[in-house]
Amino acid sequence: MVKFIRQEAEEKANEIFVSAEEDNKVYKKLIKDLIIQSLILLKEPAVLLRCREVDKKLVETVLEEEKKAYADKGINLPKITIDNHVYLPYVT
């Protein structure tokens, strides 16, 4: 039963991800929210961020925007390095 629920949740999450990916504004917000949520949860001074290779430019853009937004609030983001060697797989 737990396996079934997990599978259903993964399928639903994948549907949401694919539909968001088709709408650039929604997808950009999703990426931004996932990054910020992860940084808040990790609470680390330095982070190695992995993304899909196709999302690398978008992630770089989001990070630059967030650095400026946080700096305006007097909050420093942790040192974030995007992994240029290992990328997340494209899951369908």
pLDDT score for 68? 83
Tell me if 17 is assigned to some domain. yes
Mean pLDDT, the chain, rounded, equals: 83
Tell me if 59 is assigned to some domain. yes
Phi-psi region at 90: left, alpha or beta (left = phi > 0; alpha = psi -120 to 50): beta
Distance CA 6, CA 27 (A): 23
DSSP code, position 74: T
Tell me if 91 is assigned to some domain. no
Number of domains in the chain: 1
Tell me if 90 is assigned to some domain. no
pLDDT in tens, 51-85: 999 999 999 999 998 888 777 878 778 899 999 99
Tell me if 38 is assigned to some domain. yes
Tell me if 50 is assigned to some domain. yes
Share of the chain above pLDDT 70, in %: 77
Range of the domain at 64: 2-82
Tell me if 28 is assigned to some domain. yes
Tell me if 89 is assigned to some domain. no
